[in-house]
Structure 1
Amino acid sequence: ASWNGLTPTDYIFPAFIFIVGVSIVLSLTKQSEKGLNRNQLVQKIFFRSIKIYLIGLFLWLWPSFDFGRIRWVGVLPRIALVYMVCALLFLYTKRKTQLIIAIVILVGYWLVMMYLPVPGIGIPDLSEPGKNWANYLDQNYLPGYLWKKTWDPEGILSSFPAVVTGLLGMMAGFILISNVEFKDKLLRLFLLATTLLICGDIAQYFMPLNKSIWSSSFVLITGGISCLLLACFVYWVDIKGQYSKFKFARVFGVNAIFAYTLAGIFYTLFYSKKLWGISLSAIFMEQAITIGVAPKLASLLYALFYVFVIWIPSYQLFKRKIFIKL
């Protein structure tokens, strides 16, 4: 969505962060069982966060490496931040404390974004961009290039509710490692998803659904949907044994960072006009429309083609059992 509201693509980023939360519980629990102590885990957490963040900076700078136009925040930097904060909370706090932190952040964020007067603006107005605390803090305190010129969707203040998305994923992760049968895990996941969706539906009457500022209602709704999808996959894969039917997705899943990085690098090749005076994406669209393909269908076909281009090298790694980990 351009501002308030939700579109299918708005679910992708929060779903990824939700799964980061799930993986934190699964991974750190497994590493603890192998004998790694807390200090060793903290070291691994910090190094992994730094590597994810640096990859994000690299993709922004690629290929011109114009450091005068550097963007310090973004998708991977936010994932790095959420991973680090949630992983440390996993190590140093109990589940009840994590739940309290999540509630405090969501309620506090709602109060600040809806009612706390913004300098030079007054009472925040979320009906349009630029009249809220997220915009004010980014414009005045966030260095570097801002994605929206005066604010950034991965900016300072909206990173707090993004951490809650990771915490919701951790809640689902705790269900997955619980010592109960899969059908009971499935029931608990559905219960968590239903609770989040109901709370999100109520919350949107007090704070609009908005991905750009990662509103509290957005956190709850997308968290509920992510949990619901996770429950469905638990049913299909772990209960019904339909593991082989998800091979296409597994190729991306086992090397997610590689696929994302490759997509970022290829983006320049496909969208740059420097090679032929026109981008490959524009050539594809023009040719498709010329032969009678509707513009929206042509756009969809191009998106599928681009996904397939990234899938091919990812599959080669999958076939050779090469899994790139940070």
Structure 2
Amino acid sequence: MDTNYKRLESLDVLRGFDLFCLVGLCGFLHSLRPVIATSWYDSFLWNFSHVAWVGFSPWDLVMPLFMFMAGVSMPFALSRYKNDPDKWAVYKRIVKRVILLWIFGMMCQGNLLGLDPNRVYLFSNTLQSIAVGYLISALLFLHARPSVQVVTAFCLLIAYWAAMQFISVDGYGGGDYTKDGNLAEWIDRMVLGRFRDGAVVDAGQVVFSEIYRYTWILSSLNFVVTVLTGVFAGQILKSKIDQKRKWQWLLGIGVAMVVLGWLWGMQIPVIKKIWTSSMVLVSSGYCFLLMGLFYYWIDYKGHRKYLTWLKVYGMNSIVAYMLANVINFSCIGASLFYGLEQYIGDLYACLMKLSTVLIIYGILWLLYKHKIFLKV
């Protein structure tokens, strides 16, 4: 094992794995559903589908993992500023990143590029949840001891739980964790109003979508915790303890969090859409386990061959996310394979999806080849 290898390559690869699943694998696998059309394949696709409400699937881990890794990178990116008496430069860097993430989130989810005022939604995307978590976590990392960071995370988890459990208003809350009765739903409707994703104004009245159930305002307390758990993992990885102890700590903490999360889930259900406290423990526990496994295999054992294709995604993760969510590449595939649909039937949709995946990968590969890594 190369003890002089300094870059945390396991983080690049894990981030790449997350983005590959998000922008490449999932859509292609779902496009195969009408082609394969068997019950076993439908069961298999559960792994690449969000749980409707209570529960947790592997696909529900994609967003928390993205946020967790934003936290992991923080000790490596910001440590040099901790003892700097003049932190104005790092403050500007943090604010710039938060603003860019927020705008990019609006471009992806709020149709900002459509220039339609009726389709502008203020808080509705993964990138914006990262922005909130990053802002608070960065300030805590710069100004508070690790013990204070841990206590803060614990207090935020309890604050969310207490609010959901004991606050009752207009028939919402008071321990109600249903889609229509939870407190987080009421807060989003009151605070965001017309600017909540899916909301429309009809005859002067705000009408909320019956199918949109994600919440953001109260859930921001736990967005911070998710990013903070990544900060904790990053501090372990950056510490001077033995490499073996690092992956052992990551795996041990991961197991403990998963167990505690599912146990807590007996009282406050594991629900990703409203980002419950039990879900944070479960998802962050799984993130710790993945980080520990990837660190063990790549940075500890030194197995780095055949992983470059994942680094292509991981080292330009925001670019990959934006390309997949903002630009429609299907027209290129439709132009290249025009007229083929009548001969291959349902396989045509798979071909369109595959062509989009390959186009996005090609762009990312060119950036990687020329060492162009776009960050916010």
Change over 3 Å in CA distance of 1:82–1:321 after alignment to 2: same
Structure 1: tracts of 5 or more residues without a match: none
Structure 2 CA distance for partners of 1:4 and 1:302, relative to 1, 3 Å: farther
Check the 8 A contact 1:24/1:170 in 2, yes or no. yes
Other-structure match for 1:320: 370
Task: Choose which of 227, 237, 241 in structure 1 pairs with 2:288.
Answer: 227
Counterpart of 1:108, as a letter, is A
Matches of 1:36 and 1:321, distance apart in 2: 33
- Give CA deviations for 1:14-49 in whole Å, capped at 9, x if unaligned: 00000011111111015558x794222112111111
Which of these residues, 142, 153, 163, is aligned with residue 112 of structure 1? Answer: 163
The one of 287, 296, 300 aligned to 1:239: 300
Aligned 1:177-326 pairs, distance under 5 A: 177-267=238-328, 270=330, 287=341, 291=345, 306-326=356-376
Question: How does 1:157-176 map onto structure 2 within 5 Å?
Answer: 157-176=218-237
Match of 1:46 in 2: 95
**C-alpha distance 148-5 of structure 1, shift in aligned 2 (>3 A):** farther
**Take 1:303 and 1:194, find their aligned partners in 2: how far apart are those partners?**
36
How far off its partner does 1:78 sit? 1.4
C-alpha distance in structure 2 between counterparts of 1:51 and 1:317, whole Å: 20
Q: 1:45 to 1:168 in 2, by over 3 A?
A: same
Q: What is the DSSP-based 3-state SS (H/G/I as helix, E as strand, rest coil) of the residue aligned with 2:271?
A: coil
Aligned to 1:142, the other structure's residue is in SS state helix
Letter in 2 for 1:14: P
Match of 1:6 among 32, 53, 56: 56
Letter in 1 for 2:280: V
- How far apart in 2 are the matches of 1:179 and 1:94? 17
Pairwise CA distance, 1:69 = 2.1
Pairing partner for 1:68 from 113, 118, 141: 118
Per-residue CA deviation, residues 225-252 of structure 1 (Å, 9 max, x unaligned), is: 1111011111111122122322121111
| Cα deviation, residue 177, structure 1 | 0.8
Corresponding residue SS for 1:244: coil
What's the counterpart of residue 87 of structure 1?
A: 138
Q: Residue 240 of structure 1 aligns to which amino acid in structure 2?
A: K
* Residues 255/36 of structure 1: CA separation in 2 closer, same or farther (3 Å cut): farther
Percentage of identical aligned residues? 30
Deviates more, 1:208-217 or 1:106-115: 106-115
Q: Distance in 2 between matches of 1:193 and 1:96?
A: 18
1:91 Cα offset (Å)? 0.8
Higher relative contact order (CA 8 A, sep 6+): 2
Q: Is the 8 A contact 1:118 1:124 kept in 2?
A: no
Gap regions ≥5 residues in structure 2: 1-50, 200-207
Contact 2:71 2:134 survives alignment (8 Å): yes
When the two structures are superposed, what TM-score results if normalisation uses the length of structure 2?
A: 0.75
Report the equivalent of 2:195.
145
Gap change, CA 1:264 and 1:122, over 3 Å in 2: closer
Contact kept? 1:207, 1:215, Cα under 8 Å: yes
Number of residues of Structure 1 aligned to a counterpart in Structure 2: 310
SS at match of 1:262: helix
Q: Any idea what the Cα deviations from partners look like across 1:261-301, whole Å, max 9, x if unmatched?
A: 1111224x54xxxx8xxx96xx99x95996576x9xx77x8
Amino acid at match of 1:113: M
Counterpart of 2:20 in structure 1 is none
Matched, 1:99 2:160: no
Q: CA deviation at 1:98?
A: 1.1
Structure 2 Cα separation of the partners of residues 304 and 10 of structure 1? 23
State the Cα deviation string for residues 61-84 of structure 1 (Å, max 9, x = none): 354221232111122111111111
Q: Is the 8 A contact 2:130 2:227 kept in 1?
A: no
Question: In structure 2, the residue corresponding to 1:212 is in which secondary structure?
Answer: coil
Please give the alpha-carbon distance, in whole angstroms, between the structure 1 residues aligned to 2:188 and 2:132: 17
1:109 is displaced (CA, Å) by 1.2
Cα RMSD, aligned residues only: 2.8
Q: Report if aligned partners of 1:70, 1:144 keep a CA contact under 8 Å in 2.
A: no
Q: TM-score, normalised by structure 1?
A: 0.86
Residues 149-204 of structure 1 show CA distances to partners (whole Å, capped at 9, x for unaligned) of: 44662521111111100111011011001112211111111121122112112111
Amino acid at match of 1:137: I
CA contact (8 A) 1:118 1:132 kept: no
